[in-house]
Amino acid sequence: MCALCGVLGGRGHWTESAAAPEAFASRAEAHTRARERQERTRLVNRILGHYGLRLGDWSAGAHALRGPTGRTALVNNLSEMWAAADDLGRRDCDPLDPDLLRHLEGR
CB 6 within 8 A of CB 14: yes
Residue 52 touches another protein, criterion: CB under 8 A: no
**CA gap 70, 103 in Å, rounded:** 23
Give whichever of 56 and 70 is closer to another protein, judged by the CB atom: 56
> Residue 101's CB: how many other CB atoms inside 10 A?
13
**Which of these ranges, 26-34, 59-67, 68-76, lies near another protein under the rule CB under 8 A?**
26-34
Residue 91 touches another protein, criterion: CB under 8 A: no
Residue 88 touches another protein, criterion: CB under 8 A: no
Cα torsion for 85, 91, 93, 96, to the nearest 10°?
Answer: 180
Binding residue (CB under 8 A) for another protein from 36, 66, 72, 76: 36
Kindly write down the DSSP assignment for every residue of 23-42, as one continuous string. HHGGGTTTS-HHHHHHHHHH
User: Which stretches of the chain bind another protein, using CB under 8 A?
Assistant: 1-11, 14-17, 19-24, 26-27, 30-31, 36, 39-40, 43-44, 46-47, 78-79, 81-83, 92-96, 101, 104-105
